[in-house]
Amino acid sequence: MSDFHLDLGPLKEPLGFIKLLEWLFAVFAFASCGGYKGVTTLLVSCHGVVNKTITASFSYPFRIMRDYIFTLCAAFLWLVSTAAWAKALVDIKISTGYRIVEEIPVCKMVDSSCTFASVTSMGSLNVSVVFGLVNMILWGGNAWFVYKETSLHKSNSNSPKPGFYPPTSGI
């Protein structure tokens, strides 16, 4: 027989609860952008030629160019990676948005006109950026609680306490 039992006691402590949230939000951050697929649609009409609809599909991954130290590094990496992902997401929105009409050679011809029709909603990609920021806050909070538990934060018990001391007698 197994004596396995699940001890949820550590989750009652702030550090344990934050760890749980970190992993939960990390899963949501990656799950909300993984497997994303979108489509940009253009309506092209040239003088004397049959109107055409052009669609361009894009998907993830996009082709765009032990201890306290680990926690600090993880918080910093969440900050950097979320900022980079947010910038890349803005670039994706620009590249697949209405400005794409300006980049298509046939749309630059004098006797043609191109109209931007639609692009797939990128709501889940926006959510992944938000979850990334939440992860950065959680890992930063975790670093603070770890710091509070280390000797870096606690004062040395042998050092005198601040304040006034009564005079000593030489008796």
User: What pLDDT shows up at residue 53?
Assistant: 85
| Residue 69, pLDDT above cutoff 80 | no
**pTM reported for the whole predicted model:** 0.55
Q: Which amino acid is at 6?
A: L
**Is residue 101 packed enough to be buried (19+ CB in 10 Å), middle (13-18) or exposed (0-12)?**
middle
Q: Which two tokens stand for residue 160?
A: 């005198």
- The answer on pLDDT for 158 being more than 60 is no
pLDDT in the model for residue 161: 56
Q: Among candidates 72, 51, 60, 38, which has minimal Cα distance to 140?
A: 72
What number of CA atoms fall less than 13 Å from residue 132's CA on the CB side? 23
| pLDDT tens digits along 128-142 | 888 888 888 888 887
Residue 158 DSSP class? T
Condensed to tens digits (0 to 9), the pLDDT of residues 22-52 reads 888 887 777 776 677 888 888 888 777 778 8
139 phi, psi to nearest 5 deg = -70, -35
pLDDT of residue 112: 81
User: For residue range 50-62, what is the model confidence (pLDDT) as tens digits?
Assistant: 788 888 887 766 5
pLDDT in tens, 84-108: 888 988 888 888 887 777 777 887 7
Half-sphere exposure of 139 (CA within 13 A, CB side): 25
Q: What is residue 120's DSSP assignment?
A: -
